[in-house]
Amino acid sequence: MVSAVAMAAQPSQQILDYIDQYKAIAVQEMIDYRIPASITMAQGIIESGAGLSQLAKESNNHFGIKCHTDWTGEKVYHDDDEKGECFRKYDDVAQSYRDHSVFLSSKPRYASLFELDLDDYKGWAKGLKAAGYATNPKYADMLINMIEEYQLYELDKMTLADVKKADKKKDDEKKTGDNPQTVDNKNKKDDKKDASVSWSGYAAEVYYFNRIPTVTAREGDTPESIAKQHHIKLNLLKDYNDIEKGGSFEPGSKIYLQPKRKKGEQKYHEVKAGETMWSISRDEGVRLSSLYTYNRMQPGQEPAVGEQINLRSKRKDAVQLAGKKTPVTKQPTPKKETEKPAPVKQETPKETFQDTNNDIYIDFEEEAEEVKPETPKQETPKPETPKQAPQKEIELPKSPAPEAESAILTEQYHTVEAKETLYAISKKYGVTVEDIQKWNNLADTGIQIGQRLIVGYK
């Protein structure tokens, strides 16, 4: 790879202009080849010095791809790792982007990258370095820093229609000029902690939380008004925010304009009074289905106040649910009953030793017949006989474990999100398309946004 131009020397406006100029090509390549647009754009910026390197200017080569033995097109020679190395030359920049996609998708050493999710830019960055795309030992960090500094991960969620919308919005802003309203909006945008960069196409009040474009609900806001204001389909907005039919927004709460993330910014969330799994999902920007999975819970279950809810990984133990006490592992009650010194009342042992957890009875009737002849009121003759019987059978209450295991074997659900396919869902849960069709009585592979599917059993 061509040594990257030191990005610190590049004015940020040059990088923003590069993003504006080539973002549509990066998104198109993502659609055609399933390479994250953020990765393609970050590589283009770094490898071409935002389009200013000699190789980029003279040969339209924005990714530093060398000739290799299979290249039959035009060639140029530059000093890189060695003197006079052969690099590919292209007729235009779009051809360079396309060859970059073909290059990655056709080389076996990069095959594992295409198993990653499109939004896993960190996995892609580390995988490219591990596969030997560049010799710089910090190449993965360079890509990740570039993506996060310029919020290129937003490209991974965009369609070509979104790109055109962003371009149109920018053209309209240029026509209006710096009028007072525009300046006021700009100031508001600068005040945001995580404001979007100029190419994203969102309104000034949009900020980013957990890398999701977000707005704060105001008094009187409705799903319809937010969808209209930000040019989002109503059903998608409701899907992103888990809003049921007739639902509304609470003033001051976060409203997401793109799907929530699978993982949160923090590792845990401590449950406070009045919070639910739905409100935690909203406040942390994590998908509700992911929260249920991480915390070994079923839809509809709620955690107890004070519980720590995992936001990034699956927990080992069960969550204490609201209204339920933590299960006790030891059961001393049967033992206490058997240690009562008076074995005289022989009619009651069935009641006393009934185990309601596993419906097994400890019955002393047969041994009671041996005790019967000892009618005097002495507790010494054979008090040990009833004590020995429970010691043999007292381990029986420990048998609820099999029931607990069978209770775990419940249906696991997935709610269909925008752009998902049955094949993608099956890959996500490690099952086959045929399994999902059989579990849900599906005649074909057609599914709809918001549809709940059984994707397995736990």
Q: What is the DSSP track for 346-359?
A: -SSHHHHTEETTTT
Residue-level pLDDT at 379: 52
pLDDT at 119 over 70: yes
Residue-level pLDDT at 213: 79
Residue-level pLDDT at 9: 36
- The confidence band for 182, taking pLDDT boundaries of 50, 70 and 90, is very low
pLDDT at 293 over 90: yes
User: Residue 228, SS3?
Assistant: helix
Minimal CA–CA distance to 57: which of 89, 98, 9?
89
Q: CB under 8 Å to 362, separation ≥6 — which residues? A: 334, 349, 353, 355, 389, 390, 393, 394, 396
Tokens in use for 295? Answer: 């915390």
Q: What is the pLDDT of residues 186-236, one digit of tens each?
A: 444 444 333 333 444 455 677 778 877 788 999 888 999 988 888 778 888
The Cβ of residue 323 has, within 10 Å, a number of other Cβ atoms equal to 7
Among 10-24, 53-67, 316-330, the range of highest mean pLDDT: 53-67
Please give the DSSP secondary-structure letter assigned to residue 372. Answer: T
If one compares 101 and 344, the residue with the highest pLDDT of the two is 101
Please give the DSSP secondary-structure letter assigned to residue 2. Answer: P
Residue-level pLDDT at 423: 79
Strands 268-270 and 354-355, by their bridges, are unpaired
Q: Whose structure tokens read 């106040």?
A: 305
Q: Which CATH number fits domain 406-457: 3.10.350.10, 3.10.270.10, 3.20.20.140, 3.40.50.2300?
A: 3.10.350.10
Residue-level pLDDT at 177: 58
Helices (H) and strands (E) in the chain, counts: 19, 11
Angstrom distance (rounded) from CA 355 to CA 406? 19
Indicate the range of 286-290, 380-384, 429-433 predicted with least confidence.
380-384
If one compares 396 and 230, the residue with the highest pLDDT of the two is 230
For residues 268 and 294, the answer to whether their CB atoms sit within 8 Å is: no
pLDDT at 405 over 50: no
Average pLDDT over every residue of 71-81: 84
User: Residue 457, SS3?
Assistant: strand
Angstrom distance (rounded) from CA 431 to CA 73? 43
Tell me if 7-158 shares its fold with 162-256: no
pLDDT at 97 over 90: yes
pLDDT at 8 over 60: no
Residue-level pLDDT at 396: 45
pTM for the predicted model, two decimal places? 0.41
Indicate the range of 8-12, 86-90, 268-272, 275-279 predicted with least confidence.
8-12
Minimal CA–CA distance to 62: which of 34, 95, 84, 16?
95
Please give the DSSP secondary-structure letter assigned to residue 361. Answer: E
Query: Order of strands across the sheet with 207-209?
Result: 207-209, 212-216, 254-256
- The confidence band for 311, taking pLDDT boundaries of 50, 70 and 90, is very high
The Cβ of residue 287 has, within 10 Å, a number of other Cβ atoms equal to 20
Angstrom distance (rounded) from CA 382 to CA 378? 9
Q: What average pLDDT is seen over the chain?
A: 76
Q: Which CATH code for domain 162-256?
A: 3.10.350.10
Average pLDDT over every residue of 279-293: 92
Please give the DSSP secondary-structure letter assigned to residue 3. Answer: P
Q: CB under 8 Å to 25, separation ≥6 — which residues? A: 93, 94, 97
- The confidence band for 422, taking pLDDT boundaries of 50, 70 and 90, is confident
If one compares 11 and 239, the residue with the highest pLDDT of the two is 239
Residue-level pLDDT at 130: 93
- The confidence band for 310, taking pLDDT boundaries of 50, 70 and 90, is very high
Tokens in use for 165? Answer: 């919308």
Q: Which CATH number fits domain 7-158: 3.30.70.890, 1.10.530.10, 1.10.760.10, 1.20.140.10?
A: 1.10.530.10
pLDDT at 33 over 70: yes
Q: What percent of the chain has pLDDT over 90?
A: 30
Q: What is the enclosing helix (H) or strand (E) of 159?
A: none
Helix locations, 204-294, DSSP H: 223-229, 234-240, 277-284, 288-294
Average pLDDT over every residue of 264-272: 91
Which amino acid makes up residue 117? D
Q: What is the enclosing helix (H) or strand (E) of 258?
A: none
If one compares 162 and 189, the residue with the highest pLDDT of the two is 162
- The confidence band for 342, taking pLDDT boundaries of 50, 70 and 90, is low
Kindly list the domain boundaries of the chain, sorted by start residue.
7-158, 162-256, 333-397, 406-457
Residue-level pLDDT at 176: 64
For residues 77 and 85, the answer to whether their CB atoms sit within 8 Å is: yes
